[in-house]
Structure formats: structure tokens, C-alpha cells
Amino acid sequence: MGIFDKIKEKLSHEFIDIVEWLDYTDDTICHRFERYQNEIKNNAKLIVREGQVAVLINEGQLADVYEPGTYTLNTQNMPILTTLKGWKYGFDSPFKVEVYFVNTHLFTDEKWGTKNPITISDDRFGLVEIRAFGTYAYRIDDAGKFIIDIVGTDNNFTNFEINEHLKSLIATRFTDTVGEANLPIELYAANTTELSETCKDVMLPEFLSVGISLEKFFIENVSMPEDLKKEIFEYSRLDKIDLAKLTQFKTAKAIEAAALNDGGTAGAGMGMGMGFVLAQQMGGLMSPQMGGQQQMPMQQGGMMPPPMPIAVQYFYAANGQQSGPIIFDQLKTLFANRTVNKDTLVWKQGMANWAALKDVEELKAFLGGNTPPPLPPQ
């Protein structure tokens, strides 16, 4: 073999290109294969690995797309590029084309969240603000569309560059979906799974329009202001429990607090007095269980004391329901802890109709502001 034959053989081996991309990062979505003046030799080897797609771009136009595998680049396996170039009978010289490798594996655990509170209208609490955050996962579904619409001429397009766009899209569509759901405010946190599926279905077409497939979408938390959360919890409890029992419980706690107060004899006296009242009420409740027989008071020195005066009992309205009966001091305690107020309707025996607490003469003392008359002159 002559020297020129050796040179020719060496050059022929140098002209055979291997076009491939080894991804050593975790966040690269699209990488442009760099070649001097973008020239690819005829019969070059194109190697596309699993989790990749190779896209050929000719003068800004989308040409051929290759799935994982090994290809010899010639007119037989580049039908679109061959048509664009007008190669009818094959070619031997290098050709100019841009080769983009697109990562098609699943990008997981991407974070999203609402930058600003979302204002929604609730039937019971009016306008309220909520926030939400979660995760999502996506993959490139149409590599050609993704390059044309998103990547452009970027030679190394990363996950960070697309994430801001995707998070803004998610926040916008999440706000629209929540606004149209029209759920009671406390149900947003309790129905995150159903809400996540609904949001995913709403967002999927917009992701696909740029060649991206939204594979997973999760709402991890829906939060609201702490004062609103406490109000909702209190509302929920009131909706589930017996208001009459709640009133009795609060009254008992108020009596206990008064008895333990450092107010001295006043507090002790009030506690003892209320204790007697409760004992009397308990005795009245238990008397029917004793066969309807009434305990006769003990006689001292042959004398029978007169019957004790019957305390006036009041009924009051709470949330559209009648509660009671309770005595004067109990009603005063309920007023003090704001279970009832000046506009609460009350009734006692002898009254023709229900009346507001502020209009019942003996209950006006609850309102305060009473002052004694001036002293008579000396």
C-alpha cells in the first residue's frame, strides 16, 4: 500500500463522526451537540440512549426526530432532511444541521406554591385568603415542539429555566380552579386529593401545548390565617354539640373559677350559693326517680319551717333554639362570658312575649352604667 493510500484510509476514518451526548447532570433538559460549523459527515453514527430523543434542526426548521437507538445518517433514514435539502440521488459531502438531544426522563419533586394569598368568597365567612403549595412531576412529551416553542437556540437548556414558567402557570390555573370549585373553606384542606386531580386535568392541555406532559400534581397543604382557622374550629364544634349542654358546662366552669378566685369571701360565697342552687336543681331532677315522693323537711322543736322561695327561672334563645331554664345568677354568668348579650331574647313566667334582655327591668343591671341617686341634703 502506497503512502497516499494510507493517508486516504486515515482521512476516511477521521471523517466518520459519532454524534452522541452523555448527560452528567441532573437538571439538563436539552443539549445542542456542538460541531465545527455544525457540519455532520455523511454516514455519521448517531447514538441515542434510553431517556433521550435526538432532534435535527435545519436552518431553523424541524427535520427528523430519533428515538433511542443507533443510526447511520444518510438519505435513507433522514427522510425529512433529505426532502428539505433536495437530495434526490444521495450525497457524499458533509452537511450542516443542528442536533439537539432532549432528556425525556421524569423530572420529579418539583416545587410549586402561591406567591401571594388567594382571595376566595365563602358563604359563611365572607372573603378569606388562603395559600397552597405542593409538588409536581413532568417529562418532555414532544421534543420537536418543545425545542421550537421553548428552547429556541439555547445550547444547554436546564430545568431551572423552565421551572419558573411552569410554576407561574400552575399558580394561575390553581387560582382559577379553586375559585370555580366553590367549596366551603374548611373542605379545601380535607379534599386535597380530589382537588389535585382536578387541577392536573385543567393544566395538562396547557403543558402539552408546548410539548410537556404533566405526569403528577400534588397539593400538600392549603393554609389560611390562624384567626380564621380558630373561628372555623369553634364553628365546627358548635355545629356538632348540644348548645344546652355547652351552656351548662360553661356555667359550671364559671362557678368553679369564681370559687377559686382570690376575691375572698365574696368569691367563696358566690361559689357556695351557686353550689346550693345546683344541689337544689339536682334534687329536683332526682325526685321523680324516687317514686314521686317528696322529702319532707325536718322538724325542729315541733316547728316546720316555711317553704323556701322559688327562684325566678329564665329561658333564652341561642342560634334560633330555646335554652333553659336557668336562674338569675346563671344568666348573669352567661352574659359575663358573652354567651348571651343585650339583644338576646329572654322569657320568664308572667311575661306575655319574649323580650330582649336589655328591656327586662331586673336584667338591666347586667348592662352596667347604673349610678345611685344623689344624697339628700344635710
- Rounded mean pLDDT, 204-229: 87
Phi and psi of 317, rounded to 5°? -105, 135
- Residue 213 shares a structural domain with residue 249: no
What pLDDT digit, counting tens, does each position of 265-304 carry? 444 444 445 545 444 554 454 444 444 444 544 445 556 7
Could you tell me if 258 and 360 lie in one domain?
A: yes
Most confident region among 55-69, 230-244, 245-259 by mean pLDDT:
55-69
Is 65 within a domain?
A: yes
Given a cut of 60, whether residue 116 has pLDDT beyond it is: yes
Asked whether residue 73 falls in the same domain as residue 181, the answer is no
What pLDDT, on the 0 to 100 scale, is given for residue 179? 76
Mean pLDDT of 223-252: 68
Cβ neighbour number for residue 135 with a 10 Å cutoff:
15
Q: Is 262 helix (H, G, I), strand (E, B) or coil?
A: coil
pLDDT tier at 377 (50, 70, 90 boundaries)?
A: confident
Contact 33, 19 (CB under 8 A): yes
User: Of 343, 339, 132, whose CA–CA distance to 234 is shortest?
Assistant: 339
CATH number, domain of 187, equals 3.30.479.30
Which residue, 224, 166, 151, 214, is CA-closest to 190? 224
Partner residues linked to 101 by β-bridges:
31, 54
Maximum CA extent, the chain: 151
Q: Are 118 and 128 in contact (CB under 8 A)?
A: no
Say if residue 78 is in the same domain as residue 118: no
Residues 318 and 248 in one domain: yes
Q: How far is it, in rounded angstroms, from Cα 3 to Cα 18?
A: 27
Q: Does residue 306 form part of some domain?
A: no
Residue 346 pairs with which residues in a beta bridge? 316, 355
Domain boundary, last residue among 86, 103, 120: 103
My answer on whether 98 and 111 are in the same domain is: no
Residue 318 is assigned to a structural domain of this protein: yes
Same domain, yes or no: 119 and 204: yes
Residue 303, domain member (yes or no)? no
Assess whether 29 and 123 both reside in one domain: no
**Kind and range of the H or E element at 115?**
none
pLDDT at 302: 54
Query: For the chain, first and last CA: distance in Å?
Result: 147
Question: pLDDT digits over 49-108, tens only?
Answer: 999 999 998 888 888 899 999 998 887 778 888 787 777 666 777 778 889 999 999 999
CATH of the domain at 317: 3.30.1490
Cα–Cα dist 343/357, whole Å: 6
* Same domain, residue pair 58 and 45: yes
Give the whole-angstrom CA distance, residue 135 versus residue 217: 6
**Domain termination residue (choose one: 103, 119, 137):** 103
Return the pLDDT at 205: 92
> Cα(255)–Cα(66) distance, rounded to whole angstroms?
82
140 with 171, same domain: the answer is: yes
Domain count of the chain?
A: 3
Its domain, for residue 333, covers 241-277+311-367
Considering the domain architecture, whether residues 214 and 142 belong to the same structural domain is answered as: yes
Task: Calculate the average pLDDT of the chain.
Answer: 78
Residues 57 and 149 occupy one common structural domain: no
Domain boundary (87, 103, 119) is at 103
Buried b (16+ CB within 10 A) or exposed e, 105-117: eebeebebebeee
SS3 352: coil
